[in-house]
Structure 1
Amino acid sequence: MPSRVWVVRAGSRGEHEQYNIENDRTTIGWAEVGDIGPYRSKDAIQQMLAPLYPGAPDRRLANYASQLWAFRDRIQVGDLVIMPSKDRRGYIWFGRAVGPYTFDASSPEPERRKFIPVDWAKDPMPRSSFGEDLLRSLGAIQTVFAPTRNNAVRRLETIAAGQPDLHTGGGAPKETLSLTAVPTAPAEQDEEVTDPDPVPTLEVIEDRVQAHVMAEFKEHDLTWLVSEILESHEFVCQVSPPGPDGGVDILAGKGPLGMDAPIVVVEVKSEAGPVDVKVVRGLHSARERHNADQALLVAWGGVNKSAKREISTDSKFRVWDGATLMAELFYAYEDLPPETKRRIPLTQAWVLDEDAIS
C-alpha cells in the first residue's frame, strides 16, 4: 500500500476538472510559472518565484514553492491522487499516479502545461462515503497537499479499494474503483503541504450538516425526512411502513387528498455508496404499477454509471444525491416540523466563500 496520498485541486472553480478526467492527468495551474522540471530543490523554486510575485511575504513564497516542489518531485508513481469535484458537488475523484511530472509546452492553456499522468477511476466517490473528520482533513484550500491527520492515508486507501470508511458505516461498491496499490517509500514531511489547517468553507459546513443528518436520520427516518421536504413543496405524502415496500417508500401527489397530478413515486436509499441499475429499474416498474407521472430516487451516494445511463433516457425520472438533498433541506428548513428542526438544529449565518476568493 502506498504511504502517500495527495489532494490536487483542479482550480478554484473546478475549471480544469473535466480536462483532467478526459486526458488522464492532474494539472497544477500557476500559469505564470513555466516548467519546474529543471529545478532540483524547493529553495531553488522559491528563488525563481520571488521576481514573479514582487512584495509577496516569504511565508507565501515558501508555501507556493512547497506545493510546486511536491508536484514536481514528491508525487510518485503509485501514489493515490484525490481531486474534490466542483462540477459534481458532493463527489470526489480518486486516481493513481502512473507517471512522473511532465511539462507540455504545446498546450494552448498555460495552466495545464504542468501535469502528472493519472489513471482516474471511472466514477467519483460520493462525499457521503467519507467520515466527517476525514472530510475536514480534506477541507484545506491549498492546491496540493498530503492529508495524514485522522489516519487519512489508510482510510483513503480503504475507500479507493472499494471498502467502506469505518467512520461512516456506509460503503462504496467495488466496481467503482479498480486501483491497484503500488508500494512506495515513506513521504518526506513538510509542514507547508502536510495537513494544512482546514478552513470553514461552504463545502466544509455542508459536509458537517450532511454528516449529522446521516447519523440522525437512518433508514426509515430518512424516508420521513424526505416526505417532510416534499410536503414543503405542497405535496401530500403517503409513507410506506418499514419493511418491504415494493419499490415505493413514498407516494406523493398534489391536491387536498394527494390524488392530483403530478403523482410521484419515491424510493429512498440511506446507504452511503451509489446504488445500481436494479434499483432504478425497480422504481421504473413501481411508477408503471401506480400509474404515476414521475419517479424520484433519493440516494445519499447517487447512482453508478450504469444506473445513470438508464435514467438519462427518461425525462420523468430524477435523482437526489447527498448534495441535492442538502440543498432541498436548506430550502425547506423553515417549513419543517418543529421536532425535525430540533433534530437538525441549524442557525443561518453569512459565511465568506473562501473558494471564491482563493
Structure 2
Amino acid sequence: MATWMIRAGRGGVYAKDWVENGYVGIGWDFGGVDIASTSHEQLRGVYEAANPDFSAQKVAFAASQASKFAHTIVAGSTVVTYDPEARVYHIGKITGECVPSPDVDGVTYTRKVDWKRIAPRDRLSMSSRNSLGSLTTIFNISAEVAGELNSAAGKGAGKPEAGIETGDSADDEEARFATYDDGIERIKDRALSLTWEDMEQFVAGLLRTMGYHATVTPKGPDGGRDIVASPDALGLESPRIVVEVKHRKGTIGAPMVRSFLGGLRAGDRGLYVSTGGFSTEARYEAGRATVPVRLLDLDGLIRLYVETYDKADAETRSLLPLTRIWWPA
C-alpha cells in the first residue's frame, strides 16, 4: 500500500484535533453527497452543481482530491499529516471509510485513523522536507521519503512501501496557500540555526518592527528579562513588555512560565518566546495569569515576522533574510 500525506488545513490548524480524536478530513463542499458511493466522474458534476461559480480547474482539482480521499486511499493505508506548531509529522493507519461529517469543525468528510507514531521534522533530510511541501492537499509520498519518515519515527529499517503517482495539478488558490505554508516551514528551519544571541536580537528586532523601542538586556542574572520593550525610547510609557526568549528544542513547561510570571512587576506585560514550543500545562498557566501574557512559539514567531517583514530594519533582516515570491492575482 502507498503512504499518503493529507494536509490538516491551511497552516496545519486541524492537526491537533485530528490526532486527538483519531481522524483525517477534507473540507471541499459536495453538498452533503456521500462521496464514497459517487464515482470520480460523477464527483465533478456534483461539485460543480454545489459551487457553480468555481472555475473548471478548481472543480477538476477538488473532484480528483476527493476521489483519492474516498476511493484511492483504502483501509490499512498509511497516512501522514503535519503539525507546524510541534514541527512533527504524525503517522497512522486509515481504519474507516469516508463519511460525511457536517458537525466536525473545518471539514465536510472524515475517515477514522489510528495514529501511532511521530517523526520530528528536524530529523529529516532537506530533500525530504522539500518533498513533503507539495502544492496539493492529498498526495502520495515517495518510497524514499516514506522510509525516512519511518526511520525518523524510530521504526526499524525495512523496505518502504511503494508509491504511485498522483497526477494532480493544484488550482491556483490551493497552490498559493500550500506554497506559503511550505515557505513558513523553510523559514523556521533556517531560524532554528540562529544562535541564542542572534535569536534574542531577532525577537527585539521584531518588536521594533511593530513600533516598540526594544533593548536586549545585558547578560547575567536577568530574572526572565532578556528583552524590555516600550512604546517610547525612555521606557516610561505603558505598556512595558518584558520578554523571555528560550531558543532550544525542548518544550517549556508550567514551572518556567510560572517563574516568569512571578518576576513581572505591576503594569508589565509578558511575552514568552520558545522556539521549542510550550506544553499544554504551560499554556494553561499563562491562560489563568492575572497579568497579560502571550506565549509565542516558533510557528507564531515566524508568521508574525513574515507579516511585518517589509517594516523590519536592516539588522533584523540580515539575521533572517527573506525573498518575496510574486503570484498572479
Same fold by TM-score, threshold 0.5 exceeded? yes
Aligned counterpart, 2:4: 6
Matched, 1:265 2:242: yes
Tell me, yes or no, if the aligned pair for 1:66 and 1:192 is still in contact at 8 Å: no
For residue 144 of structure 1, the aligned residue among 129, 132, 138 is: 138
* Residues 1-358 of structure 1: pairs in structure 2 closer than 5 A: 5-10=3-8, 20=18, 23-29=21-27, 31=30, 34-36=34-36, 45-46=39-40, 48-49=42-43, 68-69=67-68, 71-72=70-71, 74-77=73-76, 79-83=78-82, 94=90, 96-97=92-93, 99-103=95-99, 107-108=101-102, 114-119=109-114, 133-148=127-142, 151-157=144-150, 160=153, 187-192=161-166, 201-215=179-193, 217-232=194-209, 233-241=211-219, 245-287=222-264, 293-314=268-289, 315-330=291-306, 332-334=308-310, 336-348=312-324, 350-352=326-328
Distance of aligned partners of 1:129 and 1:340 in 2 relative to their CA distance in 1, 3 Å threshold: farther
TM superposition shift of 1:273: 4.8
Taking CA–CA contacts closer than 8 Å with sequence separation of 6 or more, which of the two structures ends up with the larger relative contact order?
1
Counterpart-to-counterpart distance in 2, 1:310 and 1:339: 34
TM superposition shift of 1:8: 1.6
Tell me, yes or no, if the aligned pair for 2:132 and 2:141 is still in contact at 8 Å: yes
TM superposition shift of 1:293: 0.8
Gaps of 5+ in 2: 49-54
- Secondary structure of residue in 1 paired with 2:36: coil
Amino acid in the other structure paired with 1:147: I
Tell me, yes or no, if the aligned pair for 2:147 and 2:160 is still in contact at 8 Å: no
TM superposition shift of 1:190: 1.5
Distance of aligned partners of 1:333 and 1:154 in 2 relative to their CA distance in 1, 3 Å threshold: same
- The total of aligned residue pairs comes to 311
Distance of aligned partners of 1:81 and 1:295 in 2 relative to their CA distance in 1, 3 Å threshold: same
- Secondary structure of residue in 2 paired with 1:284: helix
Q: Percent identity?
A: 23
- Secondary structure of residue in 2 paired with 1:258: coil
User: TM-score, normalization: structure 1?
Assistant: 0.65
Alignment root-mean-square deviation, CA: 4.7
Counterpart-to-counterpart distance in 1, 2:98 and 2:157: 22
TM superposition shift of 1:298: 1.1
Counterpart-to-counterpart distance in 1, 2:77 and 2:158: 7
Distance of aligned partners of 1:334 and 1:102 in 2 relative to their CA distance in 1, 3 Å threshold: closer
Tell me, yes or no, if the aligned pair for 1:128 and 1:322 is still in contact at 8 Å: no
User: TM-score, normalization: structure 2?
Assistant: 0.70
Gaps of 5+ in 1: 40-44, 162-180, 354-358
